[in-house]
Amino acid sequence: AGDGDCGHTHARAARAIQEWVRARPPPAAPAQLLSALADLLLEKMGGSSGVLYGLFLTAAAWPLHNRNDLPTWADAMDAGIEAMQRYGGAAPGDRTMLDSLWAAAQALHALRSPGADLLQVLATAVQSAEAAAEATRHMEAGAGRASYISSAQLLQPDPGAVAAAAVLKAVLEGLRS
């Protein structure tokens, strides 16, 4: 969905995570897991995506230090997005990975409702992220690498938005299996 750099960066991250999981069991506590993933991505992923995912995961870990219920996972997503916006400078509608993540976060707010079904809410979040990624195809780039390119040349959805939706889908598929 772009010049290949985003795909290579995400593939590098996926390989690093696979090697990490093979080498040792990941931490069971959610806050420690997200913090360890943040460190791994900051070290191994590279590029602005690695930094942004690292910021996202570090911030998302904080609400999970003392609680691990479903509403807190919605809080964690919001905290991660807030950190990305604060340090990355993008906002929803800027044609970045934040578009997918923000759409997913809106759907994850349903986790705050009593009796929420995690897999059902996460499936809705994935669909929202995928739709938001596709919607970037028609957006003017306001941040990120695409903002340096003429809109007339941006014919595909934003690669970061597509990748973020794919990561969320992988999380859903992992939880289902």
Give the orientation angle of helix 159-176 with respect to helix 97-108, to 10 degrees. 40
Tens of pLDDT along 4-51? 677 889 999 999 999 999 999 999 999 999 999 999 999 999 888 899
pLDDT greater than 80 at residue 113: yes
Q: Which among 123, 115, 109 is positioned nearest to 71, based on CA atoms?
A: 109
Whether the per-residue pLDDT at 141 is higher than 80: the answer is: no
Q: Measure the CA–CA gap between 91 and 142, rounded to whole angstroms.
A: 8
Domains and CATH numbers, the chain: 5-176 (1.25.40.340)
Average confidence score pLDDT of the chain: 89
Give the predicted TM-score (pTM) of the model. Answer: 0.87
**Does pLDDT of 62 surpass 90?**
yes
**Nearest in space to 98 (alpha carbons), one of 110, 81, 77:** 81
